[in-house]
Structures are given as structure tokens and as C-alpha cells.
């Protein structure tokens, strides 16, 4: 391969083959004018090959690469897209990647074995729009230098070992669309007044995205498909409209009550607070989310009755999981609640009525009164809602780069 059109080759796409190595393997690939190289979804082993200095687009995801990120990679001053996700790369993230501050738009290293902190000292004023560091072993806190990334649209840190409070300064990023934090050790109270600072004029929050790229060299579009994880099962969404919006704070250490002000998230489709330490009741305000399709409160400490309004007003609700909480009283009937299995309500000793086998007595069978909460002060005023963990959807990042 290294002898093919060494002086003239500009574009190389050998993705979705069974390549295992390079003939006459060189540490630095020799095609001096190569700008576009796509080697994803092969069985290439060994160290990460370093493309020539001319490279602009480099994707070698879904292979069997191992070892540390080579320092020579930091010399690629024209690189705009770097993706070596779904490999077995180890070691830390080199500080020298800050050399890309004038060229790099997409950095995607998901599903490797990278460890240590996200390095400080990365230069400000860069052009990064997408940073995906999810599914590694990164530690410590979200670095504050990210607040300087004024055109950043996507940040996914999910499935690492990061321990931090939810930073309020993330709301200062004017173009922020996607934030993935789940399956770390993030902590805060849901009604914490400081979260009022997080305005996020364009934000949706997700866990991660699977790497399915449709790269248009002229328009600079970058497409992603996403996967929703619900109750331990993954559902693939190969193409989802941009208006899909969700909250997913699952798998962290958030506590406090679900705020009444959640009713302001009119475009919410997916809501996932599972595996946290939430208390209080299920607010009637959730019934105002008339576009809601999936709601997951699994494994919390939520108490009280399930509001009847959820069965009468949430006509699109197709997935519900309130199992393993402390709920009591009659399960509402009618509407979408007629379609839910008993597993949606398991682990609540005080619940009764269909689809559970436990019948209600005269007291527990009465209609649940509207629930209330003192969490209104949370003031959730996000305008374009949040999209969360385990919910992967298609979105387009207009990179605006013309090779």
C-alpha cells in the first residue's frame, strides 16, 4: 500500500474491509499530499499509524489498535477531523494535542482505554466543535479551560471516572448543543439554585454517539447515528430528527426532588433520571410534557402516588419505568398506561392495581391527588432542552470547512 501513488494520492477510503496491516509498514505513512484517509471498520492491529503532514481528515475507528497516542500525531497542523474511536489505545491524552488549536474541528476517541486527567494547558481560541472522550478511564474533574471554547457544540465525557459537580459555567458556551455526562460520579441537588445559571440556549444532553460518518467534503456535514439505552437494552436510531430532545442524568449521584419547573421543557421526548438518589414525589408538571415518549425513574427513592394526569395527558408515552422506588397507591388506568407491563412498576411495595397482581383496598384504591413539590425555585429555563445518556440520535454538525 505504501507504494501506491505516493506523490499524487489525495483521497484514500478503504473502510469496511478486512485490512490487517500496511505492506512495508512505516511509522509515518508516505503519501505526501494525502488529505483524506478513512480506514475505519477493518481489523488493523498494532500502533496508531501517523498520516503525512498534509492530512485533513483521518478516521481509523473500529479496529484493533493499541499502545499510546504517538507524539508525532501532534505535528499534523492541517488536521480537521481525528477519529480513532473503538480501539484499544491506552495511556494519557497528550498535552501537545493543543497544537491543533487553529485546525482541529472534531476530536473523537470514544471507547478506548485512555486514562488519567483531561490535560490542562490546551490552547484557547481553537476551532473545536466536537469532543468525544466517552467510554475511557479518564479521571478528576471537567477542566475549566473548556469555557474558552466558544464554538464548541458537542462534549461527551460519559462512561469515565470523572467526579465533579455539574459546572454552571457550561451555560456560557453560546453554541453548545450536546453534553454527555452519565455513568460518572457527578453529584448535585436537582433543586440547587446555582443550576439557574445554566441557561444553555441551544443545549440537548446525550451520553454518546456511535460512529457512523457521512462526510461531505464540500459542505462539511458530519452525521451521527445514536443508540438509546433503556432498562439495560439498547435500541438503535439510525436517523433521528434534530428536534428530538431529552434529559438523561442516569447513573450519577444526583439527589433532591424533580423540580416542578420541568414543565417548561415543552419539546422533551425522553426523560431519564434512573440510578440516582432522587426523593420526593413525581410532579404533576411532567403531564405538561405532552411530547414525552419515554420516562425512566428506575432505582431512586421517589415516594407517593403516580399522578393520574400522566395517564390522561401523555398520549405519546410508550416507555415508562418507575420500578424500584417507594411509590404507593393505585396505578392509574387508561391511556398509554394500559400498554405497560408489570415490570414497569416492580419493587414498589405500596403500589397496587393492574398490571400488578396486588389488588387495592378501599383506601389505596382512591384516585391520587395532584402531587406537589417545593422545587420550583430550581427555575429550569433551558430553551432548547436537554438530550441524555443512552439516547443516541442523528444530528448534523455543520463544520464549514472546505478542503
The domains located in the chain, with CATH, are: 1-115 (3.80.10.10), 153-206+224-363 (3.80.10.10)
CA distances (Å), origin 258, targets 162, 163, 303, 357:
24, 22, 12, 29
Which tens digits make up the pLDDT trace of 248-306?
A: 777 777 888 888 878 877 778 888 888 888 999 999 999 999 999 999 999 999 999 99
pTM to 2 decimals? Answer: 0.66
Instruction: Please give the grid coordinates belonging to residue 345.
Output: 412498576
Is the pLDDT higher at 34 or at 236?
34
124-128, 205-209, 257-261, 394-398: range with lowest mean pLDDT: 394-398
DSSP state letters, 187-201: B-BTT-GGGGG---T
**φ and ψ of 276, to 5 deg:** -130, -160
Which tens digits make up the pLDDT trace of 60-71?
A: 999 999 999 998
Q: Quick one: which of 50, 41, 48 has its CA closest to 18?
A: 41
Q: Which residue has the cell 425512566?
A: 296
Instruction: Please give the grid coordinates belonging to residue 225.
Output: 447515528
Does residue 56 have a cis bond before it (omega within 30 degrees)?
no
Rounded to an integer, the average pLDDT of 32-56 is 92
How far is the C-alpha of 130 from the C-alpha of 49, rounded, in Å?
A: 22
Q: Where are the alpha helices (DSSP H) in 54-146?
A: none
- CA torsion, points 42, 48, 49, 52, in degrees to nearest 10? 120
**Residue 387 confidence (pLDDT) above 60:** no
DSSP state of 309: H
Rounded to an integer, the average pLDDT of 26-53 is 87
Which tens digits make up the pLDDT trace of 215-236?
A: 222 223 344 444 444 444 555 4
How far is the C-alpha of 195 from the C-alpha of 259, rounded, in Å?
A: 12
Amino acid at each position: 500500500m505504501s507504494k501506491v501513488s505516493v506523490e499524487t494520492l489525495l483521497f484514500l477510503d478503504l473502510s469496511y474491509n478486512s485490512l490487517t496491516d500496511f505492506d512495508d509498514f512505516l511509522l509515518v505513512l508516505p503519501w505526501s499530499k494525502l488529505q483524506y484517509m478513512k480506514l475505519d471498520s477493518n481489523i488493523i492491529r498494532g500502533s496508531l499509524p501517523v498520516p503525512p503532514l498534509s492530512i485533513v481528515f483521518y478516521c481509523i475507528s473500529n479496529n484493533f489498535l493499541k499502545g499510546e497516542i504517538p507524539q508525532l500525531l501532534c505535528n499534523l497542523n492541517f488536521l480537521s477531523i481525528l477519529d480513532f474511536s473503538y480501539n484499544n489505545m491506552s495511556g494519557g491524552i497528550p498535552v501537545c494535542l493543543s497544537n491543533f488549536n487553529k485546525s482541529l474541528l472534531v476530536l473523537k476517541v470514544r471507547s478506548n482505554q485512555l486514562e488519567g486527567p483531561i490535560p490542562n494547558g490546551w490552547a484557547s481560541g481553537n476551532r473545536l466543535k466536537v469532543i468525544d472522550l466517552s467510554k475511557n478511564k479518564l479521571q478528576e474533574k471537567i477542566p475549566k479551560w473548556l469555557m474558552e471554547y466558544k464554538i464548541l457544540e458537542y462534549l461527551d465525557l460519559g462512561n469515565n471516572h470523572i467526579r465533579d459537580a455539574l459546572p454552571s459555567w457550561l451555560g456560557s458556551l453560546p453554541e453548545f448543543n450536546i453534553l454527555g455526562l452519565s455513568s460518572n460520579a457527578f453529584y448535585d441537588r436537582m433543586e440547587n439554585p446555582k443550576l439557574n445559571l445554566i441557561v444553555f440556549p441551544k443545549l440537548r444532553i446525550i451520553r454518546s454517539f456511535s460512529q457512523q460518518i457521512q462526510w461531505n467534503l464540500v459542505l462539511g456535514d458530519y452525521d451521527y447515528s445514536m443508540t438509546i439505552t433503556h432498562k439495560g437494552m439498547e435500541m438503535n436510531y439510525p436517523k433521528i430528527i434534530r428536534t428530538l430532545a431529552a434529559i438523561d442524568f442516569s447513573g450519577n449521584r444526583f439527589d433532591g426532588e424533580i423540580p416542578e419547573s420541568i414543565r417548561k421543557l415543552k419539546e422533551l421526548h425522553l426523560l431519564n433520571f434512573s440510578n440516582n438518589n432522587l426523593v420526593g414525589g413525581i410532579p404533576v408538571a411532567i403531564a405538561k410534557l405532552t411530547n414525552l415518549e419515554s420516562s425512566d425513574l428506575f432505582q431512586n427513592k421517589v415516594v407517593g402516588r403516580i399522578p393520574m394526569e400522566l395517564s390522561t395527558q401523555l398520549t405519546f408515552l410508550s416507555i415508562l419505568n418507575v420500578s424500584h422506588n417507594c411509590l404507593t397507591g393505585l396505578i392509574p388506568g387508561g391511556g398509554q398506561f394500559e400498554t405497560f407491563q408489570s415490570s414497569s412498576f416492580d419493587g414498589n411495595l405500596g403500589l397496587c392495581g393492574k398490571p400488578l397482581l396486588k389488588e387495592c383496598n378501599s383506601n389505596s384504591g382512591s384516585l391520587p391527588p395532584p402531587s406537589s413539590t417545593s422545587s420550583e425555585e430550581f427555575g429550569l429555563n433551558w430553551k432548547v432542552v436537554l438530550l441524555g445518556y443512552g439516547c443516541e440520535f442523528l444530528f448534523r454538525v455543520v463544520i464549514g470547512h472546505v478542503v
